[in-house]
Amino acid sequence: MAIPQTKMELRPLGNTGLKVSAVGFGASPLGSVFGPVAEDDAVATVREAFRLGINFFDTSPYYGATLSEKMLGKALKALQVPRSDYIVATKCGRYEEGFDFSAERVRKSIDESLERLQLDYVDILHCHDIEFGSLDQIVSETIPALQKLKQEGKTRFIGITGLPLDIFTYVLDRVPPGTVDVILSYCHYGVNDSALLDLLPYLKSKGVGVISASPLAMGLLTEQGPPEWHPASPELKSACKAAVGHCKSKGKKITKLALQYSLANKEISSVLVGMSSVSQVEENVAAVTELEGLGIDKETLSEVEAILEPVKNLTWPSGIPQ
């Protein structure tokens, strides 16, 4: 039975021809990465996301040691809608047991992922956190292996993900044009760090679609604060905490402001947000709707930007759980 859907803004993803929802569903929390999530809750969360117009779902075998893929697979199947109604991205190369970007592991990886997701193909297959491997191996071995999988119809498009922005130019400058369709960057397009902005013209010139994840900087821009393992410096954590406190004192939610800031740039096709409950889905979709209608709260945004100015674009070394 068709699920009546609310319209959400769909944005073109580079030259892929795909149109992805402005907010994408980050499925890592379905792997109980941030706390236990029951199967019924996972199914209800995905269903509500789909009903409210989210058509783009992102996962990885690394999230929850394959649990995220399994849960997302069950939830998508439960929708009982045509496969063409939703877009799924998964990843390869990063696993609970470590990194392996070899052609052999990539080939095995997609077959395992498709089985867990209960799908015949994924729309995007990313090399996951490539800065942990040899970038030359990514160029000469991993991406050619992904191209073969694309020819076989196991993935429609190829992507790369990671934290340092220079990994994207390194790879894209060394592969034939049109080889890599999408990049997924995280923690570099938010109120505290918008370094991705400088890379957008280059990515556009290459015809590469841009997905940005973690607009809340992996918990820095939330009232509960970042997890203990968060690698940000004390200075960055302290400034973000002050920004959160400022919003709270005004009765504003920094999570909404941060998400809206990331969504406002239409050059970014989709902003991925981790979700594990119906209420989170509703809150995120409400932020989009409000942005389209009332626009962003400019006064609070400028106050928050002033607080964060001393730490703007201050990142951290890669090498963290993600």
Q: Which residues are catalytic?
A: 63
Residue type, 58: D
For residue 275, what is the enclosing H or E element?
none
Nearest to 123 by CA among 256, 37, 225, 16: 16
Q: Pairing mode, if any, of strands 270-274 and 182-186? A: unpaired
Residue 310 backbone phi and psi in degrees, to 5: -60, -20
Determine the Cα–Cα distance for residues 154 and 164; give it in Å rounded to an integer: 28
Number of Cβ atoms within 10 Å of the Cβ of 72: 28
Determine the Cα–Cα distance for residues 278 and 131; give it in Å rounded to an integer: 34
Q: Which residues contact 232 (CB under 8 A, 6 or more apart)?
A: 217, 220, 226, 240, 314, 316
